[in-house]
Amino acid sequence: MNKSILIGRIGKDPETRNFENGSVTTFSLATSETYKDRSGNRQEKTEWHNISFWGKQGEIVAKYFKKGDSILVEGKIAYREYEKDGRRCFITEIQCSSFEFLPKSGANSGSNISPEIEAADDDDLPF
Q: How do residues 103-117 score in pLDDT, each as one tens digit?
A: 876 544 444 444 344
- How many Å from the N-terminal Cα to the C-terminal Cα in the chain? 21
pLDDT at 38 over 60: yes
The CATH number of the domain holding residue 45 is: 2.40.50.140
Q: How do residues 10-23 score in pLDDT, each as one tens digit?
A: 999 999 999 999 99
- Other residues' Cβ atoms within 10 Å of the Cβ of residue 115: 8
For residue 56, give the amino acid letter. K
Report the run of H or E that residue 117 belongs to, with start and end. helix 115-119
> According to the model, what pLDDT value does residue 104 have?
75
CA dihedral 107, 12, 54, 59 (to 10 degrees): 50
Distance CA(13)–CA(63), nearest Å, equals 10
Whether 8 and 99 have beta carbons less than 8 Å apart is answered as: no
Please state, rounded to an integer, the average pLDDT across all residues of the chain: 86
Domain span holding position 105 = 4-124
In the chain, the number of structural domains is 1
Whether 71 and 8 have beta carbons less than 8 Å apart is answered as: yes
> According to the model, what pLDDT value does residue 105 have?
64
Distance CA(53)–CA(121), nearest Å, equals 21
Distance CA(96)–CA(90), nearest Å, equals 19
**Rg of the chain over all Cα atoms, to the nearest angstrom:** 17
pLDDT at 54 over 50: yes
